[in-house]
Chain A
């Protein structure tokens, strides 16, 4: 048990780094300013909040050249905005209209799906005549089972009515393989510690899939920080634009691991520019598996009058293996080091209540992911990092000063840095030709 408590506490420490955003005060004031005029301000807040979230998900897109088929899905106004709303207005997608009812009277209706080369969107309604929608636990992580493969849900969102009797949902799945004809949507409901499973089988009508507007292989490579980022493909569909690529092949990964010089990419800042204007980003992912390290990044759909398309790498962050031992003296001041090109300043080393404290300063995006202190040849694990201080310099860089707390004290001190994360800014642009 204590192990789990420790894990929770450790995660709680990460929580200490969450800072309120600068606009918090403004938001509070704006909310208060509108109170006197409004009788039911709480009801007014929800639509606003919903729009904020969904706008991040999909954003303004014009597409009016689709054939008119299918039926418009009703009641999804809160869930659908921008691109998807317009596609729905046009009757894009496939209506299904099949239901399943649980023993307690709660029903799930699969209203319809929208399918293109990049994703499959599932629209369904949950109804609870008892008005207890918030009491039951829908383990919605549901799946779509096909003939050969089970497709997993990737993200989803929903909107519940005030009476708690109905909820409209839109979930995103990876698109099924082209030969799938029949799929089964499965889901479950938990109430009073009892779980019940439900299924809705349906046929997939490929004639109603929206396909893609552009699909092209990319053969661009950008070299950053000793590794190569390969961009493999771009697929633009009516609902979204997906870029895929690879950072390290499984072979490169294995070689680095053997050499003890692993680089674990953490985050990549990519911008897609269509006609010189940034296309809003939607989501991104990176995974390490038998293919090595691969990534994908999703953006909103491309504009109809596309004339030029560019991809920009703006930042790259990774965790690097480091093998650095730094000898320290007590009362050390302003000792400067450079590790993998990153400047690290040891501001102060001191003892307090029998423990050792080291005050260090680095750039904001430098973090030690594995660091120990060797005190008189004995390893001491880092207990905690305290007194975080961020200092913005006139040139825009932000310095992060903190105190590392190690248990015990001694005369011979050696800081053992095993791995560290950092982010570098870039300005690298790839032109994507549109004619071929």
Chain B
């Protein structure tokens, strides 16, 4: 995804404590923010909770943001951390691997392939799942992922390639549950 240049004037306004300006910064890119939160939390309620947590932190810490043009990356890093906090605290567990029946998510049931892929992804460690989702679901480039997660680009690349290799093994039918 190409990063949209951020409205520096608006960031400066937000730094002065203008709440409207801060909300506008997020709402101008509402789809990107929501999808990022959704990629982690996988449900609307948690995604909204993460976004609410994020804006509170942004408001409290925006005065520390030195480079206004970096608002985008900075806020997304905070959002990712908020999502992880929510997941950690709730540890909502969905047993993909052995779904006896398929539950409905939204208007139309997901296709078998997606369920299979989801189930395989769920078996990867969180750090591998995370980079694969950011890369393939949200179409972020390596550098953006590195910036958001605060890890070197090389690590992003190696996590992606390890994640893909593990997915291949899992989808190849190896029994990861170890029974």
Point out residues on A near B: beta carbons under 8 Å.
1, 4-5, 7-12, 14-15, 18-21, 23-25, 27-33, 35, 41-42, 45-46, 48-50, 52-53, 56, 134, 137, 139-141, 143, 152-160, 164, 167, 169, 171, 174, 188, 195, 197, 266-267, 283-287, 296, 317, 365, 367, 421, 423
Contact = CB atoms under 8 A, between A and B. Distances in A.
B67 interface: no
Contact of A28 (B39, B55, B92): B55
Nearest to B91: A158
B51 interface: yes
Nearest to B43: A53
Interface string B140-178: 000000000000000000000000110110010000011
Interface residues of B, number: 66
Of B52, B102, B125, B132, most A-chain CB atoms within 10 Å: B52
A301 B60 CA distance: 44
Given A8-B136, A152-B100, A285-B101, A160 B91 contact: yes
Contacts of A8: 117, 132, 135-137, 167
Contacts of A30: 52
A324 B44 CA distance: 37
Given A4-B168, A15-B138, A49-B45, A140 B93 contact: yes
B56 A42 contact: yes
B178 A197 contact: yes
B52 A28 contact: yes
Contacts of A143: 98
B66 interface: no
A15 B35 contact: yes
A4 B128 CA distance: 14
B5 interface: no
Given A18-B38, A152-B98, A156-B95, A32 B19 contact: yes
B2 interface: no
A99 B38 CA distance: 36
B56 to A, nearest CB: 5
Contacts of A153: 95, 98
Of B104, B125, B135, most A-chain CB atoms within 10 Å: B104
